[in-house]
């Protein structure tokens, strides 16, 4: 899958909804009404795309259709009746009601859908703040609607209220669009993370052909650096697990000090491109997680104990953030190559989950791909003792204690 295909796959409906909201404000003439109709269609397309991620957006399509129908009726009235005639004004006012209510409903559905995703998947989308902004914008939009209707029939006071409400609405609209822009970036990162999960699949045929889960099927082909176990078999007592715990400099240092760990290596796991550079991962949204490949001697330390040490040094409920490092590449995750490890992983995971009220943000997934990071990242804190580390120094001493 090339990068262009990845970008197309990650496109989501929020962008269409933003465009639909923006062009809705062009309503002064016939051309403006046509643009408004296009805006309603864009919102419908956006809701349809979001509906594939969560059913909470289903009602958003109905809201967009309500807007579309109302705007088509307003456009028809503009052609049928004499401009500015009493009938033209009356019917325009009538159809403005479902138009504005459709817009309000669409925004409410959008905020409810984002809140549902945030709660269900533990991803931070600032849904609560966005919902408050939607409420404020909706009140100003309804105020504009009422003032427009009354002002159309000669109520001078409402003409003044209309001007004030219009200015307030523009302010709230700009705030809303700004927050939607931030949500768009967070939503893209979340979808990239989910897409990584969808790339991996195992079939009975794959397991039969390859003989073990350790080499089981992945959607993306792996390079030599992505499948070291297949080329260099370790002694039977040495096993491998891949752990993502924020910035891999400190995570590697910490895990390397745990008794029983025989080797560590840092790299980029479970992304959407092959052979990424650090700049690709950090700035180009490739979806990889900074990960430590941990080889351990199971006669000296069990996987259960190793995972307990791992959980001691991460914030398991923090989404795409460890310490001061924030971004999808700093997400936490346990990536396994042997399905026999899964019961142990789940046991530790459930134990930690019981200790927290919030859902854990730690991925538990099979390893799709792993590419070694650049040489300067390997054993970084050994080479640079004063280098940056998000892990408290005292934890390094604690790592040595079983």
Phi, psi of 321 (to 5 degrees): -160, 130
- Name 238's bridge partners: 297
Sort 239 into a burial class: Cβ within 10 Å, 0-12 / 13-18 / 19+. buried
Residue 20 has a pLDDT of: 84
CATH code for residues 204-399: 3.30.1060.10
Confidence tier at 222 by pLDDT (50, 70, 90): very low
In the 8-state DSSP scheme, what is residue 225? G
- Please determine, for residue 304, whether its predicted confidence score (pLDDT) is greater than 90: yes
pLDDT at 146: 80
**Per-residue confidence (pLDDT) for residue 48, from 0 to 100:** 87
Q: Model pTM greater than 0.85?
A: no
Question: Looking at 73, 77, 93, 247, which residue is catalytic?
Answer: 247
pLDDT digits (tens, 9 = 90+) for 45-89: 989 888 877 788 888 999 999 989 988 888 887 778 776 667 767
Of 82-96, 194-208, 236-250, 351-365, the one with minimum mean pLDDT is 194-208
Q: How is the chain split into domains, by residue range?
A: 3-198, 204-399
pLDDT of residue 32: 66
Most confident of 136-150, 158-172, 276-290: 276-290
Lowest-confidence region among 87-101, 219-233, 240-254, 314-328: 219-233
Question: Dihedral of CA 50/315/324/192: which sign?
Answer: negative
Nearest residue to 381 (alpha-carbon basis) of 244, 248, 253? 253
Q: Is 311 exposed, middle or buried (0-12, 13-18, 19+ CB in 10 A)?
A: buried
**Cα gap 200→368, rounded to integer Å:** 6
- In the beta sheet, which residues pair with residue 372? 267
Q: Which residues contact 77 (CB under 8 A, 6 or more apart)?
A: 87, 88, 91, 92, 95
Instruction: Give the pLDDT of residue 341.
Output: 92
Average pLDDT of the residues of the chain: 79
Residue 228 confidence class, pLDDT cut points 50, 70, 90? very low
Tokens of 260: 């029983």
Strands (E) located in 146-186: none
Q: Angle 86-121/58-80 helices, nearest 10 degrees?
A: 170
pLDDT confidence tier of residue 230, bands split at 50, 70 and 90:
very low
Residue 393 has pLDDT above 60, yes or no: yes
Question: How many degrees, rounded to 5, is the angle at CA 228 between CA 238 and CA 250?
Answer: 70
Q: Which residues contact residue 317 at a Cβ distance below 8 angstroms, ignoring those fewer than 6 apart?
A: 122, 356, 358, 359, 360, 361
**232 Cβ contact partners less than 8 Å away, ≥ 6 residues apart:** none
β-pairing verdict for 289-297 and 261-269:
antiparallel
The SS3 call for residue 61 is helix
* Buried/exposed 52-74: b ≥16 CB within 10 Å, e otherwise: ebeebbebbbebbbbbbbbbbbb
pLDDT-derived band at 192 (thresholds 50, 70, 90) equals low
Active site residue 394: no
Q: Which tokens hold the place of 320?
A: 């795409």
Is pLDDT of 268 > 90?
yes
């Amino acid at each position: 899958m090339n990068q262009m295909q990845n970008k197309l796959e990650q496109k989501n409906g929020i962008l269409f909804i933003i465009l639909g909201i923006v062009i809705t404000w062009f309503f002064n003439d016939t051309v403006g009404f046509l643009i408004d109709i296009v805006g309603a269609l864009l919102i419908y397309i956006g809701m349809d795309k979001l509906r594939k991620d969560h059913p909470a957006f289903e009602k958003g399509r109905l809201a967009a259709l309500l807007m579309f129908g109302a705007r088509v009726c307003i456009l028809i009235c503009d052609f049928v009746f004499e401009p500015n005639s009493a009938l033209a004004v009356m019917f325009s006012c009538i159809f403005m009601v479902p138009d504005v209510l459709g817009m309000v409903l669409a925004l409410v559905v959008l905020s409810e859908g984002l809140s549902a995703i945030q709660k269900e998947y533990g991803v931070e989308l600032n849904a609560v703040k966005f919902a408050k902004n939607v409420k404020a914008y909706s009140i100003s939009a309804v105020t504009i609607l009422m003032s427009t209707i009354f002002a159309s029939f000669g109520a001078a006071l409402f003409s003044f209220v209309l001007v004030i409400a219009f200015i307030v609405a523009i302010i709230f609209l700009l705030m809303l669009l700004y927050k939607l822009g931030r949500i768009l970036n967070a939503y893209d990162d979340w979808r990239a993370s989910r897409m990584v999960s969808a790339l991996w699949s195992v079939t009975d045929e794959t397991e039969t052909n390859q003989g073990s889960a350790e080499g089981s099927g992945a959607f993306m082909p792996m390079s030599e650096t992505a499948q070291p176990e297949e080329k260099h078999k370790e002694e039977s007592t040495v096993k491998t697990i891949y752990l993502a715990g924020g910035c891999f400099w400190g995570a590697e240092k910490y895990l390397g000090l745990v008794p029983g760990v025989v080797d560590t290596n840092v790299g980029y796991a479970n992304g959407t491109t092959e052979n990424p550079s650090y700049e690709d991962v950090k700035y180009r949204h490739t979806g990889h997680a900074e990960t430590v490949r941990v080889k351990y001697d199971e006669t000296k330390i069990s996987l259960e104990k190793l995972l307990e040490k791992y959980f001691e040094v991460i914030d398991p409920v923090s989404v795409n953030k460890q310490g001061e490092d924030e971004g999808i590449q700093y997400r936490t995750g346990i990536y396994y190559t042997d399905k026999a490890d899964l019961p142990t992983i789940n046991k530790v995971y459930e134990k930690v989950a019981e200790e927290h009220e919030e859902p854990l943000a730690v991925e538990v997934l099979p390893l799709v791909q792993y590419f070694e990071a650049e040489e300067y990242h390997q054993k970084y804190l050994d080479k640079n003792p004063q280098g940056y580390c998000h892990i408290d120094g005292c934890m390094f001493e604690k790592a040595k204690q079983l």
